Structure formats: structure tokens, C-alpha cells
Amino acid sequence: MPKYLRIMKIIIDDKIPYIRGAFEGVAEVVYLPGSKTTPEIAKDADAIVTRTRTICNEKLLEGSSVKFIATATIGYDHIDTDYCEAAGIKWTNAPGCNSKSVEQYIASTLIVLAETRKLNLKDLCIGVVGVGNVGSKVARVCDLLGMKVLLNDPPRERAEGSAAFVSLKKIMDEADIITLHVPLNMKGEDATFHLGSGEFFSGLTRKPILINSCRGEVVETNAVKTALKKGLISGFVCDCWENEPDLDLELLAITEIATPHIAGYSKDGKATGTQMSVQAISQFFGLGLDNWQPSGVELPAIPVFELDGAGLREQEIISKAILHTYDIRNDDRDFRKDPAQFEQLRGDYPVRREFPAFTIQAKNIEEKTMEVLENMGFQIG
């Protein structure tokens, strides 16, 4: 029996998948677009389940009865945590919920870059900046692809020692590709706001490709445009944009691969974020939904597929497997057709399942290559 005797009210972003029906038996539920959650709506709410489009700050929450905020996302910079602490409002995010999805996004990105530029990934060094739930999985898949991997994460280095980590300067000197997976921190010794600044770009040695799939404000728009025009970097892959959805169209035009903030948008990642949010609210309010799990996660169109490695190099075999699950070029193409549909492309994003949802029936593939695919998460039939 819930400890809240009156009917509680929960506001839920209507783009959060698999959540409808979760709370209806224990609460009044209001589904709204994230940008439509107003102080008037929140005034008598007990909880909010949100994504990044709802700014949870004093303007929204002052004078409300909100006691708990759950964001079904890894990032939580849309929550004014200092205000919430002062106001006695608890909050939670969903750390790691979409880490496998971003891993898949980066894997597809690397494979497409390798095909387009005729690169052997085993010859390249990649610098992973930010090695938390997401960055650690990205680093692992890069290692499986045979790349030299450099890790930079100052908070982890302070806590764990320097053995596994390098300075950002070393990555700036040695990496052929740099991929960013940091939270957005506006201040302090681990500030990441405009980490990709003019000073950063002018300090690069090898004219690397830069990938940003964490937060738009981590890379300064004008600085990266200048870096591309001056050849300080050889390419930019962008999923997260400053001021989105009102992104800089000049930057879009010169970006090598562009997507509308969907790196973490696999169905698996979304379902996990929803599950973590529902369970967190249940535990806080005593709703009896602590073991709730989403249902209805669609299967891939072709969950079992044949992979014939005859005459192919290992990278080509792995490429076929990865691109069968997700080809980033499709998202790039759809986005460039109409960038003004940024939010709609996110809200109506098609089914994308992660590697473990697929089973490979292998022919003419060496055992060591099969081990790589299995370690990536593919099922082997």
C-alpha cells in the first residue's frame, strides 16, 4: 500500500517511451511535451519524470508541491541541483542507461569514417575524453576494433591513480580521433563548458577528427567552425549542438557526420532509462513498483542475419555486422533534409536495437574475429 494516502500527481514528458500505464494505478498522471511543463502545471504535482527539454529550476518549482524529479537521461544539467537541494526536492538521473547505445553510435561512426576515408582502424589512435559509464564502453569497443586507446578522465584519475589515464595534452598530441563523453560542468576544476575552445583547437598536433556526442556546449560553435576552415581538425562528427534545436546551420553544412542528438536513442537505452525512473519514484514514494520493467520493446526487422566472411578482411566483416544493426549515414541524411525538424526527428526516432538484440549466423569467419563480434555483444547462432 503506498504511503501517500491522497492521489498523487505525476507529470511525465510524453516522449518518454514505455512508461504509459506504469503509474496509472497509483497516481493521477499528466503527459505533456517537455517544453509545456509550466509552473502552473507543476504547482500541485508530487513528481516529474522528464528528459532534457524540461528545465527544472526555481522558476518552474518555486511554491510547488514537487518532492521528486526523475530524468530518464544520463545528463542532468537541465536540473538546478543546488536549488533542489535547498528546496528539499530529491532528484535522480539514469546513469549508464544509454551507454550501449552510444557505444553502437560511435562504432558505426568509426566504421563509416574508415570506409569513407579508406582507413585501417588498427593504425589509428583514439582519445576518449570522459571515461564514465558511456566513455568506458566506447573505449572498450575501440579496443575491440584494434585501435590504440588513450583515456582521459581527471576525476577518475584523482580517485584511482594515473596508471590507466593520460593528460588531455597527450591526447591532443597523439590522437587521430578524439571522442568526447564528458558531463556538462559549468565551473570548477573539472569544468567542461567550451572544452573545445579556440585554445584547444590551436593546441592540436595531428589534425584529428573530433566527435561530440555528449553535450553541445562542450564544444564552442565558432571555435570548431574556425578549426574546420583552418584545417586544425580534419573533420567533425556532431550529435550534440550548442543552442539546440536552434543549431548553427553553417556548422551543420561543414560537419562530416551530423545527427539530431540521438546517439543514446536505441530502444534498449530508452527502455532502461524509463525503468530506472519508474523504480526510483516508486522507491521514494513507496508505490510498490520497485521491480517494474517496460514491455513492448520492438524486435529488429531482421534479428538473425547471415554474415559471410569469404574474401573479407576482419575490419570489413565487423563493418558488415555493425552497419546491419545501425548505419549512421541514414540519420545524417534524414537530418540534413530538414534540420528544422530537429525535435520531431528525436521524438519520432525509429526503432534501433543494440548489438545484443542481433544473432549472427557466421560463414567463413575466423575464430578470433568471431570472438571480437561476441565481445561486442552479438549473439552467435
Residue positions annotated with a catalytic role? 215, 244, 261
Alpha-carbon distance of 127 to 176, in angstroms, equals 8
Are 197 and 168 in contact by the 8 Å Cβ rule? The answer is: no
216 Cβ partners below 8 Å, 6+ apart? Answer: 240, 241, 242, 243, 244, 247, 261
Burial, 123: exposed, middle or buried (Cβ in 10 Å; 0-12, 13-18, 19+)? exposed
Q: What are the beta bridge partners of residue 196?
A: 219
Phi, psi of 158 (to 5 degrees): -65, -35
Alpha-carbon distance of 234 to 209, in angstroms, equals 5
Buried b or exposed e, range 56-91, using 16+ CB within 10 angstroms? beeebbeebebbbbbbbbbbbbbbbeebbeeeebeb
Burial, 137: exposed, middle or buried (Cβ in 10 Å; 0-12, 13-18, 19+)? buried
93 Cβ partners below 8 Å, 6+ apart? Answer: 70, 71, 73, 74, 75, 76, 79
The cell for 340 is 528544422
